[in-house]
A and B are shown apart, each in its own frame.
Chain A
Amino acid sequence: MAHYDGVFNTLGLRDWCDAGKEDGPMTMAQLLAQAKGADPNETTGPLPFPSLDSLHDACSRIPQTREMTAGLERFFLDIKNSLKVVLDPITQPLSWMLDGALWLFTTIPWWVLIPMLIALTWYVSRSRAVTIFVALAFVFLGAIDHLEVAIQTLAIIFVCTGLCVIFGVPIGIAMSKNDTLQKGTIPVLDLLQTLPTFVYLIPLIFLFSVTESKLYGIAIILYAIVPVIRLTDLGIRLVDKDVIEAADAFGMTSRQKLFKVEIPLALPNIMAGVNQTIMMSLAMVVIASLVSAPGLGVLVLRGIRNLEIGVGLIAGLGIVLLAVMLDRASKAALNRVDVSRSTR
């Protein structure tokens, strides 16, 4: 006897319930109860929530919860092959880009690469303090033999952030122009932003081989693209309506309006989005090391796995250092484009 037998009996569904009765494998709860020597069908104890499992006890036609998770898994496995046919070629360039960037960054000798990166910092930030800080940080990372891994992480960040901007900004612009699209996209962005970072990896591991670089590339891009989309949308919507009206009154086409008015005026917001995107891809790059992403994350992972406290902490510090470098450099770039400043 189960708790909800009475319900099915009074509804007259007893025959229907028992018609397809077959003994499936026992659940863990049933096993435990059996081990304790109790009758698994006994109706003692408090009334359980009428969940699938407890209804199943009373009527075997009701599926158990484990069948739901199994069904989802089956569904994934079923569509896996056809999905792979489509997704594999589309995402293949990502693998090439990541592998190419990693190869490039690790092949260029350090005495060429580091000055180049410092020059790049100066070019985007035009700030002496930031440039000096970046130079010192590289020297420090080099001195403690973490330069190569840090450079690997940096290469991944560059590729992923670049792609986030390439895809995110147009999506944001489209959203700002179309309210329906915005309403449809926002829940997806919310989902991407709140989904636990590990969960990103689950469907990806099903789809792609763990050794492929695009696996972590996709995970990082999906996670980090959200702020640049949101802030592009917001930035363009916040452009002063009076200025837009003036642009209309002088007969600008929508293309002229977009490139001459809206994007330049939304640029501070878009840059803030890019800054956030960089920070988020840096956060994801550690988790991505679980699925073969090279870089500082691997050392952090080693620290956790083997309890090599020193290795993990130093690698963590290296990531913080990278984060501060990227943040300061992109913020300085943001300040430079800020329209409230007079010189450009």
Chain B
Amino acid sequence: MTETTSKPEPQIKIRGLYKIFGADPERVLPEVQKGMSKSEVLETTQHVVGLRAIDIDMYPGKTTVIMGLSGSGKSTLIRHLNRLIEPTTGEILVDGQDVMKMNPAELRELRRTRMSMVFQKFALLPHRSVLDNAAMPLEVREVPEEERHAEAQKWLARVGLDGYGASYPHQLSGGMQQRVGIARALTSNSDIMLMDEAFSALDPLIRTDMQNLLLELQEELHKTIVFITHDLDEALKLADHLVILKDGEIVQQGEPQRILMHPEDPYIVDFISDINRARVLRARTVMTEGITPDAVVHGDVDVNDTLESVIARAEGRTDQAFRVVRDGQPVGHLSMTDVVLALVPTDASEQRQATV
């Protein structure tokens, strides 16, 4: 959907980003750029390649999810966006401005007004009340107390913490603490929200709640969200654009539905083999585009309906077909045989050979 509609300028552009950890990264960089493998670099130079040749475009109002297992460099990557970590080389453009060339004052301004962050371990100030915590981004900007408390109060109420302002973080459950973390990020009123494994420390049920909260907020606020996770289901649920990292390199990036249907790497095939495809794949991904007026259809389904709901509509029968509509306009045709076929995971190597 994102890729077909008119393309605005990306809000964040990452170009040729490398991060090497070790005593003298500059010396090792040329070798890494030439393509020396991570283990080889570690063996010959005792340097660790954190990130290699990262290029990502992040569009305004969209959620970009960066997914990878632990050690894949995803947390390192997100910290480059507001320069909590300095890269070895590369460009990060936020609204066309290179973050790497900013002086300390400009960088502080960026962090104060244009980017906010939500942390895996919440990172609230334990000695401050919930209200003060939520108001912290404005306090940093020296906004008068009354004004910042009013703003913080508003966002606390929005994330469902009305009346908890006077409590202290340790009195709240993990889920509620992370709501404070989100309220804090929203209070800063920045366009960009960085979320570093924001829901990973929460129980599954609470996590689902928080994901729904985030989707709801996003529908209303249209922030540019960069979300880090190791959980594929979470990634597929939230992402407009999905980036899969492995050992500091991008394995594949694109629209999540596309990655599911056309995995380009055995690693991704393994990764997606366990998920419930019926729940994740949507009608628009599987449908045949174009209107066939004379086809027999048993009803209408929305482009964003999951295959699960389509199967439920068909009551399990495979001899049915549906018309797919977007905003009431028919856009495609969906037969139940296609639906069932789409549930069989594609094999990457075959797929690649087919496309090459």
Q: A interface vs B, CB < 8 Å? A: 240, 242-243, 245-246, 248-253, 256, 260-261, 264-265, 339-340, 342, 344
- Across the interface, do B125 and A243 meet the contact criterion of CB distance under 8 Å? yes
B121 touches A340 (CB 8 A): no
A340 / chain B contacts, CB cutoff of 8 Å: 126, 170
- Decide if A243 touches B123 in the complex (CB within 8 Å): yes
Chain A's closest residue to B171 (CB) is A342
Interface presence of B117 (CB below 8 A) = yes
Closest 5 CB pairs of A and B: A251-B111, A251-B112, A246-B123, A249-B117, A242-B123
Contact: A261 with B125, CB < 8 Å?
yes
Q: Could you write out 16 A-B pairs with CB less than 8 Å apart?
A: A242-B119, A242-B121, A242-B123, A243-B126, A248-B84, A249-B82, A249-B116, A250-B112, A250-B184, A251-B110, A251-B113, A251-B141, A264-B125, A264-B127, A265-B126, A342-B171
Chain A residues within an 8 Å CB radius of B110: 251
> Which residues of chain B have C-beta atoms less than 8 A from A242's C-beta?
119, 121-123
The residue from A240, A243, A256, A344 contacting B140, defined by CB atoms under 8 A apart: A256
Q: Which of A248, A252, A339 contacts B126 (CB 8 A)?
A: A339
Interface of A is mostly: helix
B102 to chain A, nearest CB (A): 12
CB distance from A240 to the nearest CB of B (A): 7
A250 and B126: CB pair below 8 A?
no
Q: Which residues of A have CB within 8 Å of B122?
A: 242
Tell me the complex Cα distance, A18–B56, Å.
86
User: What residues on B are CB-neighbors of A251 within 8 Å?
Assistant: 107-113, 137, 140-141
Total contacts A-B at CB 8 Å: 65
Is the beta-carbon distance between B170 and A252 smaller than 8 angstroms?
no
- Please, what's the 1-or-0 string for B15-59, where 1 marks a CB less than 8 Å from any CB in chain A? 000000000000000000000000000000000000000000000
Q: Chain B residues near A344 (CB, 8 Å)?
A: 127
Interface size class of B (residues with CB under 8 A): 20 to 34
A261 to B140, CA, bound (A): 12
Please tell me if B236 contacts chain A, counting CB pairs below 8 Å. Answer: no
Give B148 Cβ to nearest chain A Cβ, in Å: 13
Closest to A240 in B: B123
Question: B224 within 8 Å of A by Cβ?
Answer: no
Whether the pair A250, B117 counts as a contact (CB closer than 8 A) is: yes
Give every chain A residue within 8 A of B194 (Cβ-Cβ): 249
Contact of B108 among A245, A253, A264, A339 (CB under 8 A): A253
Given contacts A245-B84, A251-B140, A256-B140, contact A342 B117 (CB under 8 A): no
User: Residue B168 at the A interface, CB < 8 A?
Assistant: yes
Give the chain B neighbours of A246 by CB distance below 8 A.
117, 119, 123-124
Minimal beta-carbon separation of A246 from chain B (angstroms) = 4
Which among B119, B127, B170, B184 has the greatest number of chain A C-beta atoms within 10 A?
Answer: B127
